[in-house]
Amino acid sequence: MIASGVLLYFTIKRVIYRQIDNSLITEKTIIQDQIEQSDSIPDFEATFGHQIEVKLLDHTVHNFQSIKDTDIYDFRLNSFLPYRCIFCSGNTGQSKGYLITIFQILSEKEELLKDVSLYMFFLFLLLLLISILINYLIAWRLWRPFYYSVNKASNFNIQSDEPLDLPHTDINEFSRLNTVFSRMTRKMRNDYLNLKEFNENAAHEIQTPLAVIRSKTDLLMQNKNLKKESIDLIKSINDATTKLFRLNQGLLLISKIENQYFDEKGRVSLKQIIENCLDNYKEIMQLKNISTKMEASDDAIIEINEGLADILISNLISNAVRYNIDGGFIKCHVDDICIIFTNSGLPLLTDPEKLFMRFQKGNDNPQSVGLGLSIVKKIVDTYGMKITYSSHDNIHEIKLIYSQNANSKGHSMTIS
């Protein structure tokens, strides 16, 4: 657009110049002819509005002609005005030279050029705007189904009940895209639902045979005439069944938390949950001579599924008890931002980074299945909370930040 504008400007300029030059040359030729015929300076009545200067010389000169731009000072306007001038020299038949200079004022022509350019500029600008608008409208119409699809796809949640429903569009490419999108997400959803169903079914189907094994071993145990070897065999069957049961239950719980199975929420008092849980472990802690100290504010409320809150706290406390030492301590601090469990214990053998991963066991204890802390992590992630572990001189600290606005609160506290 700009290039063509510039081109147009120069073309018009050239046309104007050529016209001026032509008229100057014609004028000059006429004058030249007159001089050569009459050997004298002719009258300049028909001058086409040019200023003409003619000089006759007594000697011959070279034939010469040039056209150029020049500025001439105008006394009336007190400024230089642009002129186009033709200068030519030649000889008449009587070996007399002459010089002709013809000036044509350019200011009118320049103004014309300026006006034309200005009009052209606005015309171009208008065209530009219109074309942008049309482009935009076309793009909007053309891409509307695409952006609609993209928006829908980005809001698509595999766990929600609604499939990705994309409308029909007249544009072939997008219609194909939508079909592919729909087919893909439908397959994804189906796979997901199948997997989910499989998980639940598997759990159900595994629990019943497990119950059969356990009930049969229970019955077998009641038999009064068992030999020592049989007792040992039954005992290992029983141990393995228990472990399998725990494993199955733990994995099932994790997958259910992942699937947002426990979406019912309630307002739960942390102090109460922790007190109940500590009470449940009271005797065990007494046996290990573990002392407990708790400082909790009454109004520490967490919005969470009650069952999950129990599991969360009880897993953390059972860990603090399990990995404690004889005569150790458990400290619990609760405020309206976080819960901090501090406990004594042996040095951590596993990598602290991997602490919250599945099947990480704190020590080589055959009874533990290593799911406790990964269940904790799952719950913490589901509710957008944060959990960190740190240790120092065999004092372990688990910090659970449960308040959503922990950052802003912490910030305002440091300011005040």
Partner 1 sequence: MKLLIVEDDGALRRSINDYLKMEGHICETAQTLRQAIYKVADNKYDCIILDIGLPDGNGIDIIREMKSNKLTGGILILSARSSLDDKLTGLNTGADDYLTKPFHFAELSARINSIYRRNNLSGMNEIKFNEIRINTTDNLAYVNDNLLNLTKKEYDLLLFFMTNKDRIITKESIVEHLWGDEVTLTDSFDFVYTHVKNLRKKILASGSGNYIKCIYGFGYKFKDD
Q: Which residues bind partner 1 (CB under 8 A)?
A: 203-205, 207-208, 210-216, 218-219, 221-222, 228, 231-232, 234-235, 238, 241-242, 245-246, 249, 252-253, 256, 261-262, 264, 280, 283-284, 287, 306-308, 310-311, 314, 318, 321-322, 363, 365, 367-369, 372
Degrees, nearest 5: CA angle 354-358-364 = 80
Closest to 332 (Cα-Cα) out of 400, 283, 267, 383: 400
Smallest gap from Cβ 283 to partner 1, in A, equals 5
Which amino acid, 398? I
Smallest gap from Cβ 287 to partner 1, in A, equals 5
Smallest gap from Cβ 272 to partner 1, in A, equals 17
Sign of CA dihedral 227, 229, 233, 235: positive
d(CA 16, CA 12): 6
Smallest gap from Cβ 385 to partner 1, in A, equals 19
- Cβ distance to partner 1 smaller for residue 144 or 216: 216
DSSP output for 29-51: HHHHHHHHHHSSPPP-S--TT-E
Which amino acid, 413? M
- Cβ distance to partner 1 smaller for residue 102 or 278: 278
Smallest gap from Cβ 300 to partner 1, in A, equals 23
- Cβ distance to partner 1 smaller for residue 152 or 322: 322
Smallest gap from Cβ 362 to partner 1, in A, equals 9
Smallest gap from Cβ 221 to partner 1, in A, equals 5
- Cβ distance to partner 1 smaller for residue 217 or 391: 217
Phi-psi region of 63 (alpha: psi -120 to 50; beta: other; left: phi over 0): beta
Q: Which helix (H) or strand (E) holds 230?
A: helix 228-258
d(CA 379, CA 387): 10
- Cβ distance to partner 1 smaller for residue 232 or 298: 232
Smallest gap from Cβ 293 to partner 1, in A, equals 21
- Cβ distance to partner 1 smaller for residue 18 or 204: 204
Token readout for 229 is: 């070897």
Smallest gap from Cβ 290 to partner 1, in A, equals 12
Smallest gap from Cβ 285 to partner 1, in A, equals 10
Token readout for 53 is: 């200067």
- Report yes or no: 16 and 10 within 8 Å, Cβ to Cβ: no
192 burial type by CB count under 10 A (0-12 exposed, 13-18 middle, 19+ buried) = middle
d(CA 43, CA 49): 14
d(CA 168, CA 179): 9
62 burial type by CB count under 10 A (0-12 exposed, 13-18 middle, 19+ buried) = exposed
Q: Which residues contact 359 (CB under 8 A, 6 or more apart)?
A: 369, 370, 371, 374
- Cβ distance to partner 1 smaller for residue 245 or 389: 245
- Cβ distance to partner 1 smaller for residue 32 or 314: 314
Token readout for 173 is: 């490419």
d(CA 125, CA 203): 71
- Cβ distance to partner 1 smaller for residue 21 or 275: 275
Phi then psi dihedrals of residue 121, to 5 deg? -60, -45
- Report yes or no: 310 and 367 within 8 Å, Cβ to Cβ: no
Smallest gap from Cβ 318 to partner 1, in A, equals 6
